Amino acid sequence: MQASPAIAAVPAGAGEDAAIVIEDVDKHFGDVKALRGLSARIHYGRLTGLVGPDGAGKTTLMRILTGLLVPNAGHVTLAGYDVVKDNDAIHVASGYMPQRFGLYEDLSVMENMRLYAQLRGMDADRNADLFAELLDFTRLGPFTKRLAGKLSGGMKQKLGLACALMARPKVLLLDEPGVGVDPVSRQDLWRMVQALTDEGMAVVWSTAYLDEAERCESVLLLNQGKLLFDGPPQELTAQLEGRSFRLEDVGAERRAVLTQALDLPSVSDGVIQGAGVRVVLREGAQAEQLQALSDQARVELAQVPARFEDAFIDLLGGGPGGTSTLAERLPPVELGSDIAVSCRNLTKRFGEFTATDKVSFEVQKGEIFGLLGPNGAGKSTTFKMLCGLMKPTAGEAHVVGHDLRRATGAAKSRLGTWRRSFRSTACSRCSRTWNSRPASTDWKATPGASALPR
């Protein structure tokens, strides 16, 4: 994919050193120190990841870069302009896609684009070619009449991107563009961003997803307003080499083994991964305690390549210990059967449209089960039926032995649900996944076994 000349017409970065220079920036909201002494440089022709957990200060920094917020201390330039003093120039030089969908859901794709152009002082009629190119670039051409509110998550992000690119910026700031976007659309977004950086644009992509961070050429890693790392993600991962291990085929005991591993002084972090347990050692620690644990559990211990996630958690001071305050407070769940949730031929039709089509699966006691699928696959509809929030058109569903069609109240009382709001789920940590093309069950697998169907 190539960005058209009209989109990337600005010879971004020619002869300039850094697209963004951040010097000693502080930002406070009352007592909250959102950014603390931040200094960094962001370069043209490069995709820079702004990475950090919730509340790290990513959005605050993005808003300072676009001149929407004024820092309490420090100095920032973007494309050579002072973000506080040269607000108008910053507005022209930067394109910003905010974290929440900032467009009008009750206007069509085209109406949103026209409105956005007008707000930027552009004459939409005179820019028909640019519109056509943006629609072509984002592959939104066939959907110009569709209401923005009716677009899938990925299409909404592409519309946001089209609007952010409208003024042909030198610097593109994307705040968590990958949230709520399925892997196929996310791939599309990556390709577009790649095309833009190839043309010389500086692109900043903020994220709390570490797989996204790993794909950036360079990352700024923030935590609680402080910059912890600045450089290529592989450089950070390399610092952890030799400290990542896997206890293989632990099976049903994996929860207990993980707890014991996390309580070892030599262990920095651990996580259940399929049937095994992945463990990261603290800096300078040896693997003896871990070896003793694997001998005791009679499972194999293997050294595995470090991952960016290992390095990230380690940099944040390691993961939580083996004891969970929440688990200690919650009474143990008594189940009469080994099957916690089951559904057979579960189907939901909305008029002509079948959202969930004859879906069957079982979730065992103690299992983390992933529902994986692209936007529109039927994940939320299946969830709503399993939670008793939506009546199935056909099929059966049981939660802890209660029939959801007859004993909805009893089944609901045994369920804790967490509805999707801002985050979608990556399934690499699930012990098993159900994977689907829109409205059908295609296959079941353990994670890592395959890729999404295209």
The footprint of ligand ATP (CB under 6 A) covers 29, 32, 34, 52, 54-60, 99, 208
**Contact partner at residue 159 from ligand ATP, Mg ion, none, CB < 5 to 8 Å by partner kind:** none
Min CB(60)–Mg ion separation in Å? 8
Min CB(27)–ligand ATP separation in Å? 8
List of residues 6+ apart from 389 with CB closer than 8 A: none
In 3D space, the residue among 323, 239, 245 whose CA is nearest the CA of residue 290 turns out to be: 245
Task: Give the nearer residue to ligand ATP in terms of CB position, either 34 or 341.
Answer: 34
Task: Give the nearer residue to ligand ATP in terms of CB position, either 55 or 438.
Answer: 55
N-terminal to C-terminal alpha carbon distance within the chain: 18
Helices (H) and strands (E) in the chain, counts: 14, 21
Cα–Cα separations (whole angstroms), residue 22 to 139, 192, 216: 35, 26, 19
Binding mask 76-115 for Mg ion (x = CB under 5 A): -----------------------x----------------
Min CB(179)–Mg ion separation in Å? 10
The amino acid present at 76, given as its one-letter code, is: V
The stretch near Mg ion (CB under 5 A) out of 51-59, 285-293, 365-373, 377-385 is: 51-59
Q: Which residue is nearest to Mg ion (CB)?
A: 59
* 59 is a site residue for Mg ion (CB under 5 A): yes
Task: Give the nearer residue to ligand ATP in terms of CB position, either 317 or 351.
Answer: 317
List of residues 6+ apart from 51 with CB closer than 8 A: 58, 206, 207, 208, 210, 213, 216, 219, 220, 221, 222, 312
- CB neighbourhood size of 314 (10 A): 22
Task: Give the nearer residue to Mg ion in terms of CB position, either 54 or 352.
Answer: 54
Distance CA 263, CA 435 (A): 34
List of residues 6+ apart from 360 with CB closer than 8 A: 343, 344, 345, 346, 395, 441
- CB neighbourhood size of 141 (10 A): 12
**Contact partner at residue 208 from Mg ion, ligand ATP, none, CB < 5 to 8 Å by partner kind:** ligand ATP
**Contact partner at residue 56 from ligand ATP, Mg ion, none, CB < 5 to 8 Å by partner kind:** ligand ATP
Min CB(112)–Mg ion separation in Å? 22
Task: Give the nearer residue to Mg ion in terms of CB position, either 58 or 348.
Answer: 58
Interacting residues with Mg ion (CB under 5 A): 58-59, 99
